[in-house]
Amino acid sequence: MNPPLMRRFHGWVFAVLVLLGAGAIGYLTARHDHVADWTYNSRVSMSPETRAVLAKLSGPVDIVSYASPQGDLRQTIAAVLQRYSQAKPDLHLSFVDPQKDPAAMRNLGITVDGELILHYHDREQRLDTLTERSLTDALERLVRGNDRIVAFVTGDGERRADGVANADLGTFVAQLEHSGMRAVPLNFSQAAAVPNQTDLVVLAGPQAALSPGASKALADYLGSGGNLLWLADPGNLDPSLQPLADALGIRVLPGELIDASSAALGMKDPRMIVLGDYPPSTITRGFTLSTLFPEVAPLAQSRKSEWKLEPFLRSSPQATTQALGGNAAVPLKGPLDFGFALSRLSPSPAKNEQRVVVIGNGDFLSNSYLGNGGNRALGERIFDWLLGDDELINMPARGAPDRVLTVSQSELNVLSISFMLILPVLLLIIGGVIAWRRRRA
């Protein structure tokens, strides 16, 4: 056969085979879905824990994202939720432009571009940051369903659970009530003891001394295995609360925290304590959001007891204490703890574990400061832990190990000097040597 004709024939055969191969690939792609996740720790695939949570949802889930149409934020959110909608077809996502109705956004408490509100039956959850862990935790809280009764002590100047004043907790508590918590007032002038059906008691910074009856009721509640959240403000530990502190084996240190490093973060008042790192604890595991605490009382463990104590809020090493009113006093040097999570085997046979949280600040959950950074998210974690919601998924981070570069201050100084001083001088010397050699040549 003619060689040129053979080459032409082979070319046509090759072209036909390429077209047939492309058609076969297109056919398989259209009819057969196959996804291979080769990332470290399969971090872009949905975890088995998440699939188990989705299987618990017996009805549709509506997710509303208040994201601006500018930029790629909506596409990013839709891409994350697409995996959820594939596993649960009745999970629906919709977007609302927050710029079209700013007043409505303020009424809803929307403070972050891209904030999500999840609706399931008559309950809702809110998310400031979207990760698989945070979204799955929110879905699990929606599944929980049954109301938890949280009693807020009133009558002695405490922060009001339904109040709208700057120092009150109304905004935060209203959001908690959408996730299966029922807030009730507890005034010991009207009740001699904490009701038996109470799941948690909150003592939020009383401004006046508690009556002997109130102190005894709280001590009895703690002794019988009740869970407690105590928000202690600086200078607020009157003698009526000392038995409570003694029972927990802690003490509120005198004075208040000040941190000069807060100025580097834009804080003009050194009493504004900003945290970005947290001691290892159950509450803060995997928590990376920054939080703001104005006017903090430092805490310390006064004695060893049957309580297991975990510090979960700690100041920077640059922090010190000052006496209230700014008077000179012997300062305590940081790092200083101001948040304790305590647990022990419950004295009540009906419960497994008793839990208490003591924080030397109550403003971080107040109406004025709730929207700062991760304050609300941290508050939700605290309440989840106190209410014993251990079924809430707290999945470990599944990111690649080399995505975050952590350097010490000394290493950062070396890098800065190298790139800003040594490297430019070295380049000038090299350039000078090259120019000198060329002139001689």
Q: Domains along the chain?
A: 53-137 (3.40.30.10), 146-386 (3.40.50)
Mean of the per-residue pLDDT values of the chain: 84
Cα 219 from chain centre: 31
Higher per-residue confidence, 332 vs 341: 341
Q: What is the pLDDT of residue 406?
A: 64
Query: What are the percentages of helix, strand and coil residues in the chain, rounded to 5?
Result: 35, 20, 45
CA atoms of 63 and 233, how far apart (whole Å):
37
Q: What is the pLDDT of residue 43?
A: 61
Nearest residue to 279 (alpha-carbon basis) of 304, 249, 315: 315
Higher per-residue confidence, 47 vs 420: 420
pLDDT band, residue 328 (cuts 50/70/90): very low
Higher per-residue confidence, 140 vs 198: 198
Higher per-residue confidence, 377 vs 311: 311
94: CB partners within 8 A, 6+ apart = 62, 63, 64, 65
Cα 194 from chain centre: 30
Q: What is the pLDDT of residue 386?
A: 92
Burial status of residue 427 (CB atoms within 10 A of its CB: 0-12, 13-18, 19 or more): exposed
Q: What is the pTM of this model?
A: 0.65
| 32 close to 62: Cβ distance less than 8 angstroms | no
Summarize pLDDT for 254-310 with one digit per residue, the tens.
Answer: 888 888 877 767 777 888 888 988 999 989 888 888 899 998 999 999 888 889 999
CB-facing half-sphere around the CA of 347: CA atoms within 13 A: 10
Summarize pLDDT for 366-425 with one digit per residue, the tens.
Answer: 998 888 888 988 998 899 899 887 655 455 444 455 555 666 677 878 888 888 889 999
Q: What is the pLDDT of residue 28?
A: 67
Q: Is it the case that residue 352 has pLDDT exceeding 90?
A: no
CA atoms of 196 and 435, how far apart (whole Å):
88
Q: What is the pLDDT of residue 397?
A: 47
